[in-house]
Amino acid sequence: MRHVAILGSTGSIGTQTLEVIDRFPDRLGVAALAAGRNVELLIQQAKQFRPECVSIQREQDLPRVRDALSGTGIRVSTDPCEVARADADLVVAAFVGSAGLRPVIEALRGGTDVALANKEVLVMAGELVLAEARRYGAQIRPLDSEHVAIHQCLAGHAASSVRRVVLTASGGPFRGATLEELARATPEDALAHPNWEMGSKITIDSATLMNKGFEVMEARWLFDLEPERIDVLIHPESIVHSLVEFSDGSWLAQLGIPDMRVPIAYTLAMPERLPLPDLPPLDLAALGALHFETPDVARFPALGLARDVLAAGGAAPAVLNAANEVAVQAFLEGRIPFTRIAAVSETVLEGQAGRLAPDLEAVMDADREARAAAHRAIEEGRA
Amino acid sequence: MRHVAILGSTGSIGTQTLEVIDRFPDRLGVAALAAGRNVELLIQQAKQFRPECVSIQREQDLPRVRDALSGTGIRVSTDPCEVARADADLVVAAFVGSAGLRPVIEALRGGTDVALANKEVLVMAGELVLAEARRYGAQIRPLDSEHVAIHQCLAGHAASSVRRVVLTASGGPFRGATLEELARATPEDALAHPNWEMGSKITIDSATLMNKGFEVMEARWLFDLEPERIDVLIHPESIVHSLVEFSDGSWLAQLGIPDMRVPIAYTLAMPERLPLPDLPPLDLAALGALHFETPDVARFPALGLARDVLAAGGAAPAVLNAANEVAVQAFLEGRIPFTRIAAVSETVLEGQAGRLAPDLEAVMDADREARAAAHRAIEEGRA
């Protein structure tokens, strides 16, 4: 029996994690749940799965949740770190953006393994987070379809025989779009991802390919790979979730239907596999063909930005993450065009380059200042 | 240092095995070489690699080989079993057809691991050969691109989590051909394989898909899988060499350029990998697309025949193998049309069904009688 705490239980990854847990009551249970503002769904989840504690984002929602859960013995707070400290075997980190950093550190410091969907945690502070995991003997497991794919391809093969890993990217809704079309893209256009149903932040990041840039950084830390050993390949069908090339020219690829419940089940149960019989099987003959192309960094500059900040190190990745988060929000609110999302990040990076990030406080400082700088850049129309 | 004996050193697999060995003189050496009629090439190989012994097929060639190798201390005979008994760490079994069965058994009985390219050995007597391997503590390693692919996909994953394996087939030169076109196909047409350069017997078996049927049987024994867990998928580019589907709906695939030196190097060196830097890398973006389709058993009945004899068991697989060998030879000599190759096997199977194969002698008897029956069927024009 494996007890799971979920940071972000009402989001896309959180609800699908609970769906998988619900199917295997003999193997998986819920230790704690942290949510944002979706109070009613959290209450419903807490009543169904009976965690030891739950957290919500806002003080003003506390009375409603306490009232709804009175008599259950479930503790209620606004502190996700309490959820991260619950008596769990695994913390599923599925917050969006930088909010997940502190609770993840908290879980690792308690010696609890973390399944990481919230890639910004490694983007912002990969080196620091890995150091904490090593120090407290906790493991960081991938919970992104690409990184779960790489994990499966690497299993049973010597790390020294890996030449490089290749992350696949669907190319998003704008794969074939011209720069002019990109400039006119609306939030509705950008939210229409061809293959995956995800939250809005990550869907926009997929459309700009910033998400893939973040995944390059994530892979760098999760698998201890030099950045030049991590490549990106556009694969519109999202069937091949990623590949590994070995030193003898041989490749392994992991394939499956694009449904997050498959990698979620893998990460929750590894090294065992949980069968999900009601999912449609992958039928390659019915698909007919799998396509591959080189990503176009001219139309999708986010990919180049991500590589640059990974090379720069220090606080640069945290600055990019924060600036991008603000820019994506501005795009979703109709305040900047699609093509300015990467431009805002680039402007902010220019002002914040060369910062060090010796500890978590410095990372959080860089995050705060980059957000302020991004807001200024957007308001002043400089980017 | 791993010493290798090669059964079939002058054939396609044999020469490529020596090419790989030649590149890694610190890791690989040659213990013994067995050839057929290509006496001059064998002499040249013996002079270069200095094995302890060599064998050739025909008595009449002995004086020439003894003369050429006089003073080298290399023993010369017409007995490939002597080569199989040489002081080797691994015997590469790359004879064509049933000639490989006795030397492979001999190697296993000496406790020597066997790398099996000569799939007819498992087709004819899979159960018996596996029993000998277990009894003498010897290992049978795959040396077919598809089975090396499966071996790599299975490494590091629990056997209990395997749902099925899927062998890919290029579909050969007649993938899109109509039945009428198949009936008119010449040996030259059939020998023009689109992706792989191989010997003529296996190239014809690829054109009929009998080779894939044999590979299904090979997989059944190599990986201890029920036949219904082994599927075939047509993949014209021969880049995905095979796939494994796991119980959670997740798949692993092994990919690479279609060059046998890659799987040969893998099998010779496993668990290490030998880099072959002068081979062109696999470039998926340059390829653009990988295609998949369901095999058509109506146009390629050999695949159905192979499944039938695997289900029937006993001597049926040996009968199919022998009848097919005779029929392929008759086709190559222009005596029967392409579409009669499978028909000859079917006719012979009808007459030989239900035989038992309790030991090696019974298998060899079935082989002999099936050959005679195939010759009769061809001469009498019954098939």
Q: Give me the DSSP letters along B218-239.
A: HHHHHTT--GGGEEEEE-TT--
Is residue B378 predicted with pLDDT exceeding 70? yes
Q: Give the pLDDT confidence of B151-194 residue by residue, as tens digits.
A: 999 999 999 999 999 999 999 899 999 999 999 999 999 998 77
Query: From the candidates A163, A239, A248, A294, which should be mutated to test the interface with B, based on the most B CB atoms within 10 A?
Result: A248
- Contact B252/A255, CB-based, under 8 Å? yes
Confidence of residue A98 (pLDDT cuts 50, 70, 90): confident
Confidence of residue B132 (pLDDT cuts 50, 70, 90): very high
So what's the pLDDT on residue A382? 67
SS (H, E, C) chain A: CEEEEEECCCCHHHHHHHHHHHHCCCCEEEEEEECCCCHHHHHHHHHHHCCCEEECCCHHHHHHHHHHCCCCCCEEECCHHHHHCCCCCEEEECCCHHHHHHHHHHHHHCCCEEEECCCHHHHHHHHHHHHHHHHCCCCEEECCHHHHHHHHHHCCCCHHHEEEEEEEECCCCCCCCCHHHHHHCCHHHHHCCCCCCCCHHHHHHHHHCHHHHHHHHHHHHHCCCCHHHEEEEECCCCCEEEEEEECCCCEEEEECCCCCHHHHHHHHHCCCCCCCCCCCCCCHHHHCEEECECCCCCCCCHHHHHHHHHHHCCCHHHHHHHHHHHHHHHHHCCCCCCCHHHHHHHHHHHHHCCCCCCCHHHHHHHHHHHHHHHHHHHHCCCC
- Contact B262/A250, CB-based, under 8 Å? yes
Hey, is the C-beta of A294 within 8 angstroms of any chain B C-beta? yes
Is residue B36 predicted with pLDDT exceeding 90? yes
Residues of A in contact with B282 (CB under 8 A): 245, 249, 251
Residue in chain B lying closest to A269 (CA): B248
Q: Give the pLDDT confidence of A283-326 residue by residue, as tens digits.
A: 999 999 999 999 999 999 999 999 999 998 889 999 999 999 99
Is residue B352 predicted with pLDDT exceeding 90? no
Q: Give the pLDDT confidence of A208-242 residue by residue, as tens digits.
A: 999 999 999 999 999 999 999 999 999 999 999 99
Among A346, A146, A316, residue whose Cα is nearest residue A231:
A146
Query: Which of A153, A257, A291 shows the shortest C-beta gap to B249?
Result: A257
Residue in chain A lying closest to B270 (CA): A157
- Contact B272/A158, CB-based, under 8 Å? yes
Is residue A265 predicted with pLDDT exceeding 90? yes
Q: How far apart are CA A272 and CA A256, in angstroms?
A: 17
Residues of B in contact with A291 (CB under 8 A): 288-289
The CATH homologous superfamily of the domain defined by A2-143: NAD(P)-binding Rossmann-like Domain (3.40.50.720)
Mean pLDDT of B92-102: 92
Is residue A202 predicted with pLDDT exceeding 90? no
A122: closest CA of chain B, how far (Å): 26
CB A107 within 8 A of CB A138: yes
- The CA radius of gyration of chain A, in Å to the nearest whole number, is 20
Q: How far apart are CA A281 and CA B163, in angstroms?
A: 11
Is residue B341 predicted with pLDDT exceeding 90? yes
Is residue B197 predicted with pLDDT exceeding 70? no
Helix (H, G, I), strand (E, B) or coil at B90: strand
- Contact A249/B262, CB-based, under 8 Å? yes
So what's the pLDDT on residue B383? 60
So what's the pLDDT on residue B255? 98
Residues of B in contact with A287 (CB under 8 A): 292
Q: Specify burial of residue A17 (Cβ count, 10 A radius: 0-12, 13-18, 19+).
A: buried
For the sheet containing A75-77, what is the strand order? A75-77, A53-55, A28-34, A2-7, A90-93, A113-116, A140-142
- Contact B248/A233, CB-based, under 8 Å? no
Hey, is the C-beta of A288 within 8 angstroms of any chain B C-beta? yes
Residues of B in contact with A249 (CB under 8 A): 256-257, 262, 275-276, 279, 281-282
CB A326 within 8 A of CB A374: yes
Confidence of residue A142 (pLDDT cuts 50, 70, 90): very high
The 10 Å Cβ neighbour count of residue B24 is: 17
So what's the pLDDT on residue A360? 86
Q: Which residues pair with B233 in a beta bridge?
A: B168
Lowest mean pLDDT among A189-198, A259-268, B197-206, B356-365: A189-198
Share of chain A above pLDDT 70, in %: 98
Mean pLDDT of B270-294: 94
Segment 129-158 of chain B within 8 Å of chain A by CB: 152-153, 155-158
Cβ contacts of B293 within 8 Å, gap of 6 or more = A285, A288, B171, B233, B234
Helix (H, G, I), strand (E, B) or coil at B93: strand
Q: How far apart are CA A225 and CA A213, in angstroms?
A: 15
Cβ contacts of A166 within 8 Å, gap of 6 or more = A230, A231, A232, A233, A242, A243, A244, A245
Is residue A200 predicted with pLDDT exceeding 80? yes
Q: Give the pLDDT confidence of A237-247 residue by residue, as tens digits.
A: 999 999 999 99
Mean pLDDT for chain A overall? 94
- A–B: how many Cβ contacts below 8 A? 134
Query: Which of B248, B252, B256 shows the shortest C-beta gap to A153?
Result: B252
Residues of B in contact with A254 (CB under 8 A): 250-253
Is residue A132 predicted with pLDDT exceeding 80? yes
Confidence of residue B112 (pLDDT cuts 50, 70, 90): very high
B4: closest CA of chain A, how far (Å): 20
Share of chain A above pLDDT 90, in %: 87
Is residue A55 predicted with pLDDT exceeding 90? yes
Mean pLDDT of A359-367: 89
Lowest mean pLDDT among A176-180, A352-356, B109-113, B257-261: A352-356
Is residue A65 predicted with pLDDT exceeding 70? yes
The fold of A313-380 is: Rna Polymerase Sigma Factor; Chain: A (1.10.1740)
So what's the pLDDT on residue A170? 94
Lowest mean pLDDT among A56-60, A352-356, B62-66, B149-153: A352-356
Six token digits for residue B232:
């075939």
Residue in chain A lying closest to B276 (CA): A248
So what's the pLDDT on residue A338? 95
Among A258, A251, A243, A94, residue whose Cα is nearest residue A170:
A258
Hey, is the C-beta of A290 within 8 angstroms of any chain B C-beta? yes
Answering whether pTM is above 0.90, one says yes
Query: Which of A248, A257, A292 shows the shortest C-beta gap to B262?
Result: A248
Confidence of residue A357 (pLDDT cuts 50, 70, 90): confident
Q: Give the pLDDT confidence of B48-75 residue by residue, as tens digits.
A: 999 999 999 999 999 999 999 999 999 9
B42: closest CA of chain A, how far (Å): 28
Q: Where are the domains of chain B?
A: 2-143, 147-287, 313-380
Query: Which of A249, A276, A288 shows the shortest C-beta gap to B248?
Result: A276
Mean pLDDT of A277-287: 94
